[in-house]
Amino acid sequence: MHSGVHGLQKILITGAAGFLGSHLTKELIREGHYIIGIDNLSSGRASNIKDIPQERFIFIEADVCSGEIISLPELSGVKEIYHLASPASPKFYQNLPLETLEVNITGTKNMLELARKTGAKMVYTSTSEAYGDPLIHPQEESYRGNVNTWGPRACYDEAKRAGEVLCYIYYTKYQVPVKVARIFNTYSAGLANDDGRVISNFVTQALKGDDITVYGDGSQTRSFCYVSDTVKGLILLMEKETANGEIINIGNPDEYPIIHVAKLVKTLSRSTSKITFHPLPEDDPKLRRPNIAKAQRILGWTPSITLEKGLKATIEQYGKKLNG
């Protein structure tokens, strides 16, 4: 159970109107906390947070890169900062490359300064993309990655790596209790239908009877984690003091080729869609699977939702969204 559950904690979530941020906000509100959400609505949507009860939730539409953020009166006394703000889907970060770099550098520095000022703990959401196109498999946190600075994914991968550097500096120089989550592909029906990431694309296509678009031959792999598991991992990361100053993988180690995911979505949704093949995007990682021994050891966390179970729930909820 979250440590603050017996007393009201004031928690800041940046990127609160996004996919993960809105799920995390709802979970922490269920646990009894008081949440301030900040989002500039660049890839997130106000509709993701519209049903959240206002008594314990304040939403501020703002850019976390703005220097004025730190002095917002609403943020005084903040005890925990979850810094999630950043485009995450390749479709969004490639349309917003400078903003992506900026939010993970200036935005992260602002949040670390806020943590320093208020004495708050902080979780920074980095990514499995920090490993690039990995040469070590599965990926453990000590692997330093195979990342390209000169390509369409660099604005995201290198921005997140720079964000991690800032966390390291504030942890060692100012003892800010910051922890880094390297999150691996997370999904649920909370992803907007037009988010562009693979599960939202495949399920939306399958339910509409459109072609299911596999990039490349579909032999590249990913390991998919259901959103409730990822959210639990992030909350534990915040809670555990032994995680301070650590980088920890948060992901589900069950790894599948993308073609398998396409076929599974088609079968589970009883779709008549055709599976079609399209060019593989530049620098698309060939393999991705987390080693979660560190998360198990430090957080006592293991994901519990299988891909099949998570996909069934996702298909059912997307179905309701599309028909409603």
**Is residue 213 close enough to count as binding ligand UDP by CB under 6 A?**
yes
Of residues 244 through 263, those in contact with ligand UDP by CB under 6 A are 258
Determine whether 171 is an active site residue. no
Residue from the set 214, 225, 275, 305 that interacts with ligand UDP by CB under 6 A: 214
Number of H helices, E strands in the chain: 10, 13
DSSP assigned state of 128: G
Q: How far is the CB of 284 from ligand UDP (least distance, A)?
A: 5
Give the residue with the Cβ less far from ligand UDP, 109 or 197: 197
Pairing relation of β-strands 212-215 and 178-183?
unpaired
Question: What tokens were used for 225?
Answer: 């984690």
Using the structure block, give the residue that is written with the tokens 């646990």.
Answer: 31
From 142-150, 161-169, 197-205, 308-316, give the range in contact with ligand UDP by CB under 6 A: 197-205
Residue 90 binding target from ligand UDP, ligand NAD, none, CB below 5 to 8 Å by type: ligand UDP
Residue 130 binding target from ligand UDP, ligand NAD, none, CB below 5 to 8 Å by type: none
What is the C-alpha to C-alpha distance for residues 254 and 310, in angstroms, rounded to an integer? 12
Which of 317-322's residues contact partners 24+ apart within 8 Å by CB, and which partners?
317/188, 317/189, 318/189, 318/193, 318/200, 318/203, 318/204, 318/207, 319/207, 319/269, 321/189, 321/193, 322/193, 322/204, 322/207, 322/208
Give the residue with the Cβ less far from ligand UDP, 34 or 224: 224
Residue 200 binding target from ligand NAD, ligand UDP, none, CB below 5 to 8 Å by type: none
Q: Is 262 exposed, middle or buried (0-12, 13-18, 19+ CB in 10 A)?
A: buried
Report the interface residues with ligand NAD, using CB under 6 A.
14-15, 17-21, 38-44, 63-65, 84-88, 92, 103, 107, 125, 127, 183, 185-186
Question: What tokens were used for 251?
Answer: 């992901």
Active-site residue (options: 34, 93, 156, 226): 156
Q: How far is the CB of 227 from ligand NAD (least distance, A)?
A: 8
Enumerate binding residues for ligand UDP (CB under 6 A).
90, 185, 197-198, 201, 213-215, 220, 222, 258, 281, 284
